[in-house]
Amino acid sequence: MAVCKTMNAISTQNPANAPVFIWGLDMSHGETAESLFEEVKSLTDKDFSLAVFDVTDWNAQFSPWPAPAAFGKDSFSGKGNDTLRFLEDNVLPEIKSRFPESGAFLTGYSLAGLFSLWALYESDKFNGAVCCSSSLWFDKWDEYVSTHRIKASSKIYMSLGNREEKTKNKTMAKVGDRTRSQAEILKDDPNVEKLFFEWNEGGHFDEPLKRVAKGIARILG
């Protein structure tokens, strides 16, 4: 499994009891932990920590089950369960050792947003998730959520760009309706303590870090 064996954490000055946001970082995307941290700090004065783990095979590590390619030749091998086990067995214990009173929130964009939401259906170890522009067009996702419930009391943030569903790709064009439907499903889920859902301006690739930062800030309150 191609995820790192250690976790890097960045914290504000008083991280005790403050939420920890777990973020999988793929360096090939040109993003850094520091850039997300600073984006969040620009939106809120609340304390928080950012726990970061490395991602080297995005489509494999964040796909919950095998699925055909949505475009091109890059299919999904469905190694999300390995990633979830890694987070439960390695990242969460380290978080609890550093920040024993803090809640842990999965955080992701695109396929990582899908993974973050899926993990709440599979595990009761997390306190919620930030799921931005999530790949809810993913094959058989609608079937999956129709037969599952969120495992533990959770705060969930969801967002989508208002142009993301306006695509000629028939698979990805499902994302708007799937996201609207997902929001309604979560509203009715007794384990969803609080749901935030909002639309952003633009398409899928417009300011992903700013969108994730906004989600974190909303969870922080």
**Residue 2 confidence (pLDDT) above 70:** no
| Residue 178, both tokens | 């799937």
Average pLDDT over residues 87-104: 95
Residue 6 pLDDT level (bands cut at 50, 70, 90): low
The superfamily in CATH containing domain 8-220 is Alpha/Beta hydrolase fold, catalytic domain (3.40.50.1820)
Q: What HEC string does the chain produce?
A: CCECCCCEEEECCCCCCCCEEEEEECHHHCCCHHHHHHHHHCCCCCCCEEEEEEECCHHHHCCCCEECCCCCCCCEECCHHHHHHHHHHHHHHHHHHHCCCCCEEEEEECHHHHHHHHHHHHCCCCCEEEEECCCCCCCCHHHHHCCCCCCCCEEEEEEEECCCCCCCCCCHHHHHHHHHHHHHHHHCCCCEEEEEEEEECCCCCCCHHHHHHHHHHHHHC
Tell me the per-residue pLDDT of 111-133, one tens digit each, with 9 for 90 and over: 999 999 999 999 999 999 999 99
Tell me the per-residue pLDDT of 13-64, one tens digit each, with 9 for 90 and over: 888 899 999 999 998 888 999 999 999 999 999 999 999 999 999 999 999 9
| Residue 218, both tokens | 């909303």
Tell me the per-residue pLDDT of 140-176, one tens digit each, with 9 for 90 and over: 999 999 999 999 999 999 999 999 999 999 999 999 9
- Whether residue 111 contacts residue 63, with contact meaning beta carbons closer than 8 Å, is answered with yes
Q: Where are the domains of the chain?
A: 8-220
